């Protein structure tokens, strides 16, 4: 598969490095610093082509597994139900872990998203994907802990992962679950969602 056959979305922000992400819909997202030239982005995409192809193949395998399981896409009503469940459940988990960790946080928002399980803004506002309600409880807890750890470390440095490990020593099991099963959950979102 040539990269010319793949849809590439470039998102520019105040970040320092270029990051590449293969999405469940078999598109590629490039997150780049504002100052990065298109030529530089194209060079990195060429260099990373084997990595991109490998992850595209893995995503296709996961989609095939998903299709074989004959899981239906989620209706709008089902998404609303998941959102309501998440609004009742996730804030309690956030409060519980924030007390343990000694951190504060702002507003909690629940959304249906195709690319993220959670996020934490610089102001401490937390955002969670309603699809988490289809994941095991320990995976939900991992995402909550992950986002709350950003209240201490707004990055993914070693110090950040040490903070995660302090609260959830076996967090890597949840990371692996999201890597292996998460795309199947996101795949249940219909194209118009």
Angle among Cα 132, 133, 135 to the nearest 5 degrees reads: 65
- Considering the entire predicted model, what is its pTM? 0.67
Q: What is the CATH number of the domain that holds 170?
A: 3.30.2010.10
Q: Are residues 17 and 63 in the same domain?
A: yes
Q: What percent of the chain has pLDDT over 90?
A: 58
Q: Are residues 59 and 80 in the same domain?
A: no
Residue 192 in any domain: the answer is: no
Residue 193 in any domain: the answer is: no
| Last residue within a domain, chosen from 68, 88, 106 | 68
Question: pLDDT for 104-147, tens place per residue?
Answer: 999 999 998 888 999 999 999 999 999 999 999 999 999 999 99
Confidence category of residue 6, pLDDT binned at 50, 70, 90: confident
**Residue with the two structure tokens 């320092």:** 16
Instruction: For residue 93, give both structure tokens.
Output: 């988990």
* Contacts for 26 with CB less than 8 Å, ≥ 6 apart: 6, 56, 59, 60
* pLDDT the model gives residue 62: 64
Question: pLDDT for 130-189, tens place per residue?
Answer: 999 999 999 999 999 999 999 999 999 999 999 999 999 999 999 988 987 887 788 777
- Mean pLDDT of all residues in the chain? 87
- Residue 44 in contact with residue 18, Cβ under 8 Å? yes
Separation of CA 183 from chain center: 10
How many Å apart are CA 185 and CA 71, to the nearest integer?
9
Q: Which domain holds residue 136?
A: 76-186
Would you say residue 64 has pLDDT above 80?
no
* pLDDT the model gives residue 69: 46
Q: Are residues 82 and 51 in the same domain?
A: no
Average pLDDT on 69-93 reads 85
How many Å apart are CA 107 and CA 86, to the nearest integer?
14
Q: Considering its fold, how many domains does the chain have in total?
A: 2
How many Å apart are CA 135 and CA 42, to the nearest integer?
36
Would you say residue 91 has pLDDT above 90?
yes
Confidence category of residue 38, pLDDT binned at 50, 70, 90: very high
Q: Rounded to the nearest 5°, which phi and psi values hold at 43?
A: -60, -45
């Amino acid at each position: 598969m040539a990269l010319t056959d793949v849809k590439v979305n470039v998102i520019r922000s105040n970040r320092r490095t270029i990051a590449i992400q293969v999405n469940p819909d078999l598109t590629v997202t490039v997150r780049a610093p504002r100052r990065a030239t298109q030529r530089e982005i194209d060079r990195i995409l060429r260099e990373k082509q084997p990595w991109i192809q490998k992850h595209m193949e893995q995503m296709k395998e996961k989609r095939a597994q998903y299709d074989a399981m004959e899981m239906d896409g989620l209706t709008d009503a089902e998404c609303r139900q998941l959102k309501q469940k998440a609004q009742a459940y996730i804030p309690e988990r956030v409060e519980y872990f924030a007390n343990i960790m000694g951190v504060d946080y702002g507003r909690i928002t629940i959304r249906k998203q195709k690319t993220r399980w959670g996020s934490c803004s610089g102001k401490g506002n937390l955002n969670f994907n309603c699809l988490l309600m289809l994941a095991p409880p320990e995976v939900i807890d991992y995402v909550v802990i992950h986002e709350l750890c950003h209240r201490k470390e707004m990055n993914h440095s070693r110090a950040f992962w040490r903070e995660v490990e302090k609260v959830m020593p076996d967090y890597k099991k949840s990371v692996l679950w999201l890597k292996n099963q998460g795309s199947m959950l996101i795949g249940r979102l219909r194209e118009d969602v």
